[in-house]
Amino acid sequence: MAFFVKSMISSQVKNLGLGGGSEESKEEGGTSDPAAAHGMTREEYEEYQKQMIEEKMERDAAFAQKKAERACLRVHLREKYRLPKSEMDENQIQMAGDDVDLPEDLRKMVNEDQEEEEEKESILGQLQNLQNMDLDTIKEKAQATFTEMKQTAEQKCSVM
């Protein structure tokens, strides 16, 4: 494997025009067959190449799926907070086949947030907010306001 990496690097250096090709041909013994350079038969080398291509395609598909999931999350957040839409995110979702959903843990978080918002907006949620207020403080303020108004009225009206 180390030889494979070294030969890849030296071929890249050779492609840049910086030399390095002479060492490669000396190590390979003059063969131009890549299978022989890696110590494999032609069939083994072709199978190896197929595996590498399949693995790369799988990684690329998984990466595209993750990118689409992230784009889906951004679209959802933009809708929630009424932000401008992004065409790039919509394109990523379309490229993934439009069957992209939020990851399961994020979907749970979003559903919990929606439930909390719905509770706050409902009548019961408003009543709970009233219960959280300090009623004694409200009574004291109302009494103080009433007393102040009464005193102001007594000062202006001498009949009372």
Q: Label residue 11 by pLDDT band (50, 70, 90).
A: low
Average pLDDT over residues 77-83: 84
Residue 144 located in a structural domain: no
The pTM of this model reads 0.46
Residue 126 located in a structural domain: no
Query: In this structure, are residues 14 and 3 in contact, taking their beta carbons and an 8 Å threshold?
Result: no
Q: 85-101 b/e with 16+ CB inside 10 Å = b?
A: eeeebeebbeebeeebe
Say how far apart CA 8 and CA 12 lie, in whole Å: 6
Say how far apart CA 78 and CA 75 lie, in whole Å: 5
Residue 96 located in a structural domain: yes
Query: Residue 59's pLDDT is what?
Result: 96
Residue 113 located in a structural domain: yes
Say how far apart CA 85 and CA 78 lie, in whole Å: 7
Q: Copy the structure tokens of residue 139.
A: 């009574």
Give the chain's mean pLDDT: 75
Residue 101 located in a structural domain: yes
Average pLDDT over residues 74-102: 82
Whether 77 has a pLDDT exceeding 60, the answer reads yes
Residue 98 located in a structural domain: yes
Domain that holds residue 103: 5-121
The structural domain count of the chain equals 1
